[in-house]
């Protein structure tokens, strides 16, 4: 089973730039790609960051499903 997760970066390497990234899985490759959203740190507040992360995970689950990995929306784990 694979766990879904999102990595959140907060300007460690580039001051003023934050990002959220999440993996996309497939039944063929172990990790074919990741998707990231990059934005100015001062533009996205904590509640908006949570929304961006939730939406990003929804998108990566959908793409993973199209690539042959079934993911349970409630647990975030592959079925």
CB contact set of 3 (below 8 Å; sequence gap of 6+): 76, 77
pLDDT of residue 72: 60
Query: pLDDT per residue over 6-65, tens digit each?
Result: 888 876 677 888 899 999 988 887 777 899 999 998 888 888 889 999 999 999 999 999
pLDDT of residue 76: 45
CA 25, 29, 32, 34 dihedral sign is: positive
Is it the case that residue 79 has pLDDT exceeding 60?
Answer: no
pLDDT of residue 74: 41
Query: pLDDT per residue over 54-76, tens digit each?
Result: 999 999 999 999 988 876 644 44
The Cβ of residue 64 has, within 10 Å, a number of other Cβ atoms equal to 22
């Amino acid at each position: 089973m694979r766990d879904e997760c999102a990595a959140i970066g907060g300007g460690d390497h580039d001051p003023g730039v934050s990002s959220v990234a999440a993996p996309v899985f497939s039944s063929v490759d172990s990790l074919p790609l990741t998707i990231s959203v990059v934005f100015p740190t001062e533009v996205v507040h904590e509640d908006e960051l949570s929304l961006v992360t939730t939406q990003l995970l929804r998108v990566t689950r959908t793409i993973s499903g199209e690539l042959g990995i079934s993911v349970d929306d409630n647990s975030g784990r592959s079925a």
